[in-house]
Every structure is written in structure tokens, then in C-alpha cells.
Amino acid sequence: MLPDLPSLVPSTRRRRTLFVYLAMSLAAVAIFFAIRTRGESLSAPVAAVGGGQRDGAHTAELAHVLLALAVITLLARAVGVFVHRFLRQPPVIGEIIAGLMLGPSLLGWVWPQGYEFLLPDNVAPFLGIISKVGVVLFMFLVGLELDPKLLRGSAHSTIAVSHASIFAPLLLGAALALWLYPVYATGDVSFTSFSLFLGVSLSVTAFPVLARILRDRRAQRTRLGVTALACAAVDDVSAWTLLAIVAGIATAQMSGAAWTVLWVVVYVLAMLFVVRPLLTRWFVAREQSREGPLSHSALAIVFASLLLSAVATEAIGIHALFGAFLLGAILPHEGRLPEQIRAKLEDVVLVLFLPSFFAFTGMRTSIDLLSGARDWLFCAAIIVVATLGKFGGSFVAARAVGMSWRHSAALGIMMNTRGLMELIVLNLGLDLGVITPTVFTMMVFMALVTTFMTTPLLDLLLGRSGFADPVSSNSGASAPGEIS
């Protein structure tokens, strides 16, 4: 009995396809060998010495950088989750600890071969660039998170508390520099630069970490929570302005520092009165004309503005992160666009870029530098002075404007939170050469201790529900979202 004719058709087509494929493959091989026979008789110019070796080195460096980023990302997330779940600390604390664990202080001490394999010396420059780009993007998000209502609606008492929490640690830090400078500074750094940087670095409050702590407690809309966020916002703007001035002084001779400050003033005025109105009109026009998500073209405009602002401050000599921060702060905060920008940028920055910054900080932090009792005594003195300045200044000012002693103490504890923002400041000081690696290590310890103590002290003082009643919706103040 003959088979059904349609059933033979697919088999015939498969054989025909196989025949065509084999013929095409054989023809390609034959043609290549013909070309190869002709080409082997040709000669080429002499290759540059080491060119091929350098390409191989680049491949090895790329593999190391990618491996390091993978390990850093996973470890930072794991320790961050552990710290948040079991110690009730912000995940950023765990991420900072993870970065220090990967440095010479732990991994390099416990397993030197593993440290050399994971983070060899040739990887450090690439990791440093990645981390600095991440910090620039993060500072843009910090500026974008600053709610203008907190600044516009800040009462005179809030400004008084925030500025007291700057002036007290700044003066105490400058006084502490009288003992630190002869021991730990270098001759090419003036006492003015060293003392000003030390004072300003003790004055910083970690606005994003504080926002996260309040959010975890569901206290970001209580009166005390809003007051703390308003004080931290004013504190950050003031402290970063002072730090920009200090960076300008540190990077220029005293005769040229005035020009640096003048260029900073010109830059800020241009951003406020030229760039901000243009971006505001563009944002408003886009809000009115489109309802969909943020387009790639719109995002390109935002990123280009961010990068150009960072380039401008880097050219002035006060570091690119100031330009990123200011651009984020002057962008319109109303409407859907800020939320869409955060949604597109925030996760990548927090999960990938910032852990690389913590690891880079860990590579620059070596406990071995604190080798004697004198070093540890100075480290303890920095922690005490930093806490006394922030807590004491905030507490006294809060009591002076009529807050209860318990809420004044709670406000002082919260203003003493430093965390990530302090690490950014310290890395800036180390890059500028204002502080030495030994002072850098001491200050990293201070940042960890002052941030870690915030949650348990608030629990001890107020409990989980001691922030009083929420602020009413018509009070004009609102708590910003979280970054880290």
C-alpha cells in the first residue's frame, strides 16, 4: 500500500534543506582556504611592542572588575538584610560593614591570597572610578529628595537648631585639630584647611539615613520626625555649602582661594537664575503635554544637565558631587517627573554603584594604621567630640526654643546620624590630600559608631511609638521618601 502523499512532503523538504546547508558550508570552507592560500603570501607591518599583551591585560582587568562587583553586590545586600532584620539598623549600615569586610582590615588580614585575587592593585583604579560615578549619581538623588517644603516651611527655631548642630561640632572639631594637626597632618596641608575640613566633617548629618530610620519607625510624618528632617535638610545644605568653600580653599593657594569662592558664587547664581527657570519651564511644559512615562530623550536631557553641572564644579575645583547635588536640589519637585527619574535611577545606584563605593572605602581603611594606644585614644576623642558637638548643640538649641527635654534629646540623637554622607565627605578629604589615611580610618570609625548608636538610643529614650502625633495634612510639611 502506498504511503499518503502529503506525509512525504516534509521529509523531502528536510532533505533538500540539509543538502543546501551542507553545500553552503562546504563552499564557504573552500572559498576561505582559497583566500587563505593567497593571503599567506602577503606581508603586514610590524606590530607595536606589547600591543597584544596589553589587550590581554585589559581582558584580565575587566574580568577582575566584574567579579569584584558581583561579590561586592551580593555581600552588601546579604549583610544589609541581616543588619536590618536582626539588629534593626538601616541596611546602609550593613552595606558599609560589608565594604569594610572586603578591605585589608578583615579580608586582607584573614585571607591575604583571597584579597589579592578579588581586589588586586590594578582593580582599585577602576573600582574607584565606578564608585565616584555612583556617588555623583547618589548626590543627585539626595538633592532630588530634599523636599523644598521642609526648607520653605522651616520655622526660625528649626533653622536655629540645625545651625547650632553645625557650629558646635565645627568649632569643637577645629579645636581638636590643635592636637591632631602636629601628629597626623602633613606639611603640605595648612592648619586652616585641616581644621576647617575636620570641623565641617563632624558637622554632617546623613539626611537619607535619617529619613530611612524615621520611615522604618513610621515616624516621618510626626511633629518630631518632620522637625528632624527639616533640621537635617537645612543642615545638609549648609554643611555642603561650607564643604564646597573648604574644598576650594584646600585646592588653591590662599591667594587663589578667593577666586575659587567667587567662581562658586557665579556658578550657584547661574544655576538658580538661569538653569533652574529653563528646566522648570521644560518640566511644566512636558507635564502638560504628555501623560506617559519619561521618554529616553527627556532622561537624556536630565542626565546631560547632571553631568555638565558636575563637570562645572569639578572644573572650578570643588568636586563633581557638589554639582550633582545642586542640580538635584533645584529641579522641580512637584509632578510625576521627579518620581519617574528616581524610579529609573535609584535601584541601580543603590544596589550596584553604592556598594562599590563602600568596598572602595574599605580598601582605603586599614585598622593597622591605628597601631598604638595614642591612635586609639585620638580615635575615641574624635567620636566623643563629634557626638558632643552634634548632640549637645542640637539639644541646647532645641531646649532654648521650647522643646521638651526628651524630644530635644531625641532630636540631638537623630542629628548625630552620619553614615554614608560622612563617608562621602571623608573620601573627598582623602582625595584632596587634606587628611591622611590614619585620620581617614579614625573618622570612618566615628561615622559607624555615631550612626549605629542612633536606633538603640532612640529605642531607649522614646520606644517604638514615642514620636507624638502625626502632623496634619494641612500643615504644609511633608516627609520625603527614602534613598538608602
Give the span between the Cα atoms of 260 and 317, in whole angstroms.
Answer: 7
pLDDT value of position 81: 94
Coarse DSSP helix, strand, coil percentages of the chain, rounded to the nearest 5 percent: 80, 0, 20
Residue 48 makes CB contacts below 8 A (sequence gap 6+) with none
Q: How many Cβ atoms from other residues are within 10 Å of residue 396's Cβ? A: 15
Q: What's the Rg (C-alpha) of the chain?
A: 28
What's the DSSP call for residue 230? H
pLDDT value of position 405: 93
Helices (H) and strands (E) in the chain, counts: 22, 0
Query: Per-residue pLDDT tens for 126-174?
Result: 999 999 999 999 999 988 887 666 666 556 678 888 889 999 999 999 9
Q: How many CA atoms lie within 13 A of 378 on its CB side?
A: 22
Q: Where residue 319 falls among pLDDT bands split at 50, 70, 90?
A: confident
Domains of the chain: 66-462 (1.20.1530.20)
pTM: 0.83
Q: Is residue 61 pLDDT above 80, yes or no?
A: yes
pLDDT value of position 475: 42
pLDDT value of position 187: 86
Query: Per-residue pLDDT tens for 178-190?
Result: 999 999 998 888 8
Is the separation of the CB atoms in 358 and 76 below 8 Å?
yes
